[in-house]
Amino acid sequence: MIAEFISVGTEILLGNIVNTNANYLAVKCAELGISNFYQVSVGDNEDRLSQTLNMALSRSDIVILTGGLGPTKDDLTKEVTAKVLQRNLIEDARSKERIMKYFKDRKFDAIPENNWKQALIIEGSLVIDNHNGTAPGLIVKTDESNDVVSHMNPYNNKVIILLPGPPNELIPMFESDIIPFLRKLQPGILYSEMVKICGIGESKAEIMVQDLIEQQTNPTIATYAKNGEVHIRITAAADSEENGKLLVKPLVDELKRRFTTAIYTTDESENLEDVVVSMLAKHHIRLTTAESCTGGLIAGRIVNVPGASAVLGEGFITYSNEAKQKYLKVSAQTLMKYGAVSKETAAEMAQGAASVSESNASLAVTGIAGPDGGTEEKPVGLVYIGCTVNGKIRVKECRLKGNRQKIRDLTVIYALDLLRNAIMEEYGI
């Protein structure tokens, strides 16, 4: 089956918002085994939206429209879709009741009149409740055999899905209602697992699995380059989830044999910081961070994980040399002889962070994020990461490429991975 995405909103074309919905839908459809050949953004214009929808229906089995379901006059998605399908808009009592409850729960004195527009649905459509907003989603089948629809239908055997634009409304709706619906349209199932790797570049990772890719039939292997990571998805077509797991397992085992400890998880829902926090908790390790060029990004990534308070004690941002001396006890001699960006300073920052906080692990970074400040000897992108676990010091030198933000983001990833490896070495994992 082929799906096409139409993102509706002039604000997308003007660049006022980033269209993350298309990215999300592409990933989810790929997981479901649904092909995606076209993604289109169109403004709030009736004629252009109508042309775009007609084109999509002529070449795709499933058309997913996002946005344009709000209460204002320029929200036209529902109206244009009904017009293209030659169907009426009718009031849905349940949607009207939910809109009333939404405003009542929020203590509104009166409901703006234009909000009742959101209670109108395309006749013959399946209504998807919106638990995070007022605009319901709709699933419209264009099959003429639907007795509810008496009008002439220009398209047969197509599915149109209308979803609200805000991601915090679209994503929960898609996860709870649309994915189960789409699964029923697919013959059999697609089962996939993700292997997440850190510390090995995309090119090297691809070479390491090239023979598996060349031999693939079912299951298939696909590599994805992430910022500082490589993800490998193994997908099998099967008649059941159980048989899908059986097909995927030998390849996952082979990847584990080849990449060993570079694999930090095979759980798609886990990120690197999730794994690190879990390891810290498992071994009762209390961590302190000391950051210069990352300015708190490492601590921020760790705090993103629920339960981080059990493992993260303190965090220092020591951007200046004076702060490194005052809070982390880095010696003036070290800074004078080797400079702030050096393996020696990184080591003393890590030691000092652990010492002053009385923690049994620390992570420290110092580097040149750019765009200025680099020299021939110490170029932009030179970063040193210091790590201690139970008193043992490790220092990693990184020479990173990219703009300031990318260098800082990569530093966070390599720092977390260094800590992960240090814990594995210390506890024999």
Note the pLDDT tens digit of each residue in 192-204.
Answer: 899 999 999 889 9
Whether residue 215 sits in one domain with residue 161: no
pLDDT tens-digit series, residues 24-77:
999 899 888 788 999 999 999 999 999 999 999 999 999 999 999 999 989 999
Whether residue 115 sits in one domain with residue 213: no
- What is the CATH number for 357? 3.90.950.20
pLDDT at 112 over 60: yes
Q: How far apart are alpha carbons 76 and 116 in whole angstroms? A: 14
pLDDT tens-digit series, residues 319-376:
999 999 999 999 999 999 999 999 999 999 999 999 999 999 999 999 999 999 999 9
Predicted model pTM:
0.76
Residue 231 pLDDT = 95
Question: Do 414 and 382 contact (CB within 8 A), yes or no?
Answer: no
- What proportion of the chain, given as a percentage, has pLDDT over 70? 97
Whether residue 363 sits in one domain with residue 305: yes
- What is the CATH number for 230? 3.30.70.2860
Whether residue 223 sits in one domain with residue 92: no
Selection from 217, 323, 234 nearest residue 30 by Cα: 234
CB-based contacts of 270: which residues, under 8 Å, 6+ apart?
196
pLDDT at 148 over 80: no
Q: How far apart are alpha carbons 67 and 269 in whole angstroms? A: 27
Q: How far apart are alpha carbons 252 and 245 in whole angstroms? A: 10
Could you say which of 265, 286, 319 is where a domain stops? 265
Whether residue 137 sits in one domain with residue 85: yes
Cα separations (Å) of 66 from 170, 334, 369?
8, 57, 38
Could you say which of 217, 250, 265 is where a domain stops? 265
Q: How far apart are alpha carbons 307 and 312 in whole angstroms? A: 9
How many domains is the chain built from?
3
Whether residue 147 sits in one domain with residue 24: yes
Amino acid (1-letter code) at residue 228: G
Whether residue 281 sits in one domain with residue 214: no
Whether residue 199 sits in one domain with residue 291: no
429 pLDDT band, cuts 50/70/90, is confident
Residue 109 pLDDT = 78
Whether residue 56 sits in one domain with residue 25: yes
Whether residue 355 sits in one domain with residue 250: no
Q: How far apart are alpha carbons 255 and 249 in whole angstroms? A: 10
Whether residue 286 sits in one domain with residue 391: yes
Residue 187 pLDDT = 77
Could you say which of 215, 246, 265 is where a domain stops? 265
152 pLDDT band, cuts 50/70/90, is low
Q: How far apart are alpha carbons 118 and 151 in whole angstroms? A: 23
Whether residue 241 sits in one domain with residue 291: no
Domain that holds residue 288: 272-427
pLDDT at 150 over 50: no
- What is the CATH number for 19? 3.40.980.10
Across residues 403-420, what is the average pLDDT?
Answer: 97
Q: How far apart are alpha carbons 341 and 366 in whole angstroms? A: 6
pLDDT tens-digit series, residues 302-324:
999 999 999 999 999 999 999 99
